[in-house]
Amino acid sequence: DQRSLLLAATLVLDAKSGRNLTFRTEEEYIRSYINYHKVYLRYGLYFFILLDLALALFEKPALPGASVPYWGTMLIEVVCIAFFILRVLHAMKFQEPKIFWKDTKNYMVIGTIVLTVIDMIAYIVWINVAPDTHPVRWSRPLRVLFIINFSDGKQIRRAFRNIRRTVPDILNVLILFMLSVCLFALLAFKLFYKRPNLIYANGDPYFKSYGDAVWDLYVLVTTANNPDVMMPAYNYTAWYAIFFIIYLVICLYIFMSIVLAAIYNNYKKNLKNEVKSAVYSKRQKLIKAFGIVKVDMNGKEAVTPNRWKQLMSVVLPTKSAEQIDLLNKVLDTNGDSYIYRAEFLNLSDLLHVELTEVKDRQTLLEKLMPTIYRSTCSNFLQMIVRHKIFRYAFDLLIFANAFFIGFDVDSADWFFLTIFSLEILLKLYVFGPKQFFQRLWNMFDFFVIGGAVIASLVEFIIGDTISEEFNMLDTLLVLRVLRLFKLFGSIKRFKIVIQTIVNIGPSIVTYGGVIFVFYYFFAIIGMEIFQGLIKDFGYNENDTDVSHLWCGNPKLKDTTFYRLKYCKNNFDDIIKAFVLMFELSVVNQWHDILGGVF
């Protein structure tokens, strides 16, 4: 019947996409579940999460010139929250209450929503009653929880789960590492604190308290204050250098390697288990689907050709009868058109294989104007474009372009832009858009050249400068140099390396998402705590306003922070906060940056 067919098809699709939600099996709830995964609802969720996160750009402390009254951002936030509530209610509808209320994810989402609503109301009251007491929107860091806890953020949630599971595994190594640093610090403290003439080059006290010693040696293990932390002692006597060398060999090279190896191995182990359980759950879904559509054939269970067609017409509504028949033939190993259990279990992998019909392979132009496309002239053109000499010629042109860019001959640029645009048009004509955009380099080419054409036109029409800080010539320049990166794609020996990078792309994106969650969380907290402490007034020597000196904070007088012109490394808007977080992540000079903030 209709219901069981729908159920089986949904299970097959769940197995294909690796979805893991459970749902009640009445038709009404199945349909609700199918709707829940509708593309527009999923992208709607992504959009509202992004919108919610983007509010930080406009809330105080906002980007310069982007400040909006609090009720403006709050109105948008209400809309986002409303969508989230609808989404949760939708999920509640098709799930068994027992299962829904057993899932931590749901508690996290509902909790975050409740806290946000409380915070918003509290803030409105607070800002109207006592606006001078620096009202705080304390729920804002929690917004990133929506990324992790809505069921669509599967990859990032998995990464977080792995991190959570990896921490206890490496705890022993970490504790031992910390204790070693503390013991070495005790040694350094005892050795150096009694010598009054040991001071840092800038006059700072040198290992004068145990806390300082632990901090300095911890910074050393990140290499950030090497060799400065050693120099005073080394200048006193070369013997003391031995201490620092032994410390670095043990705590940086040996210990850090073991910590990293432990993290790597445990993370890999946890990831393996995740993959295993994903494969298992996929299998379970297919077995369940098979159980629904199978027919008992003299003791052997199988899906009949007829039921196959019914099932597939729900799973793949856009495919033709021939294609569905083809899938049957691929799965069927003994040629009787019946799909047995073992064969059925390959279905989810098969659904990932792209099937195209011959008529799909024709380009759009070929379909629209077959006579012109297949004329002698057009055929000759196609032969040229497909020839490898055509490719070599354009590689050579990029190479020539590199020289023109290197020697600043801008006048030739129109020529190169025209010829490269022509290349793209020719390839589009010959290969058709579908085949053209399947290659990543073509996509890259299209955006770089297309962008350059648009930027050139804008520059030609409305002139160079759009604003003082952002101008078209810079953009053009960037696009022009980016073009040169295409050379890498045409050199054979680099292909495998580039392919590797492309293959690990999804992992990098997931990892980037994890980093984003951390950055956003701490950026918002940092903004609430540190806003206004350090201000960026530039370093104009003609500026006579005393309050503009030393990043607007007299405490920063004579610090490395001010001397290195780090004033812009502050928490005064979310962009600056993110850049600051990134600088800290690169580890170098992090102690000096932090020294300014605190």
> In whole angstroms, what is the distance from residue 328 CA to residue 267 CA?
39
Considering the complex, state which of residue 71 and residue 403 has its C-beta at the smaller distance from a copy of itself.
403
CB of 447 to a copy of itself, least distance (A): 15
DSSP assignment string, 321-359: HHHHHHHHHHH-SSSSS-EEHHHHTTHHHHTTS----HH
Which entry of a copy of itself, Na ion, none binds 499, CB below 5 to 8 A by partner kind? none
Residue 274: which of Na ion, a copy of itself, none does it interact with, CB under 5 to 8 A by kind?
none
Q: Report cis status (omega within 30 of 0) of the bond before 317.
A: no
With respect to a copy of itself, which residue has the nearer C-beta, 163 or 176? 176
If contact means CB under 5 to 8 A according to the sort of partner, which of a copy of itself, Na ion, none does residue 179 touch?
A: a copy of itself
For residues 548 and 562, the answer to whether their CB atoms sit within 8 Å is no
The CA distance from 569 to 562, in Å, is 10
The one of a copy of itself, Na ion, none whose footprint includes residue 252, by CB under 5 to 8 A per kind, is a copy of itself
Nearest residue (beta carbon) to Na ion: 588
Count helices and strands in the chain by DSSP H and E runs: 30, 3
* Nearer Cβ to a copy of itself (72/205): 205
3-class state of residue 207 by DSSP? coil
Determine whether 462 is exposed, middle or buried from the number of CB atoms within 10 Å of its CB (0-12, 13-18, 19+). Answer: exposed
One-letter amino acid for residue 446 of the chain: F
Residue ranges of alpha helices (H) inside 193-255 are 210-221, 231-236, 239-247
Spacing of C-alpha 110 from chain mean position: 25
Residue 50: phi and psi, rounded to 5, are -60, -45
Distance CA 163, CA 190 (A): 38
316 binds, among Na ion, a copy of itself, none (CB under 5 to 8 A by kind): none
CB under 5 to 8 A by kind: which of Na ion, a copy of itself, none does 306 bind? none
Choice between 220 and 339, CB closer to a copy of itself: 220
Please give the residue ranges that form the binding site for Na ion (CB under 5 A). 223, 588
Nearer to Na ion, 223 or 257 (CB): 223
Kindly state the smallest distance separating residue 224's Cβ from Na ion, in Å.
6
Min CB(589)–Na ion separation in Å: 8
- Quick one: 302 or 556, whose CB is closer to a copy of itself? 556
Whichever of 294 and 591 has its CB closer to a copy of itself, that residue is: 591
**CB neighbour list of residue 359: distance below 8 Å, 6 or more residues apart:** 367
Residue 90: phi, psi to the nearest 5? -60, -50
CB nearer to a copy of itself: pick between 521 and 537: 537
CB of residue 139 vs a copy of itself: minimum separation in angstroms?
A: 27
| Least CB distance to a copy of itself at residue 130 (A) | 34
Q: How far is the CB of 222 from Na ion (least distance, A)?
A: 7
Residue 406 binding result from Na ion, a copy of itself, none, given CB thresholds of 5 to 8 Å by partner type: a copy of itself
> In the complex with Na ion, which residue's Cβ is closer, 275 or 587?
587
Q: How far apart are the first and last CA of the chain?
A: 69
DSSP 558: T
456 binds, among Na ion, a copy of itself, none (CB under 5 to 8 A by kind): none
Q: How far is the CB of 132 from a copy of itself (least distance, A)?
A: 31
Judged by beta carbon distances under 5 to 8 A according to partner kind, the member of Na ion, a copy of itself, none in contact with residue 88 is none
CB of 558 to a copy of itself, least distance (A): 13
Q: How far is CA 403 from CA 407, 409, 422, 480, 484, in A?
A: 6, 9, 21, 12, 10
Residue 232, contacted partner among a copy of itself, Na ion, none, CB below 5-8 A by kind: a copy of itself
**Nearest to a copy of itself of 110, 477 (CB atom):** 477
Distance CA 338, CA 170 (A): 51
Within 407-557, residue ranges assigned H as helices are 413-438, 440-462, 472-484, 486-490, 492-503, 505-530
Q: Which helix (H) or strand (E) holds 193?
A: none
Minimum Å gap between C-beta 361 and a copy of itself is 34
Q: Which does 283 bind (CB under 5 to 8 A by kind): a copy of itself, Na ion, none?
A: none
Our CA angle for 94, 84, 114, nearest 5°, is 105
Least CB distance to a copy of itself at residue 579 (A): 5
Instruction: Choose between 306 and 588: whose C-beta lies nearer to Na ion.
Output: 588
For residue 471, the cross-strand partners are 465
Shortest Cβ 409–a copy of itself spacing (Å): 13
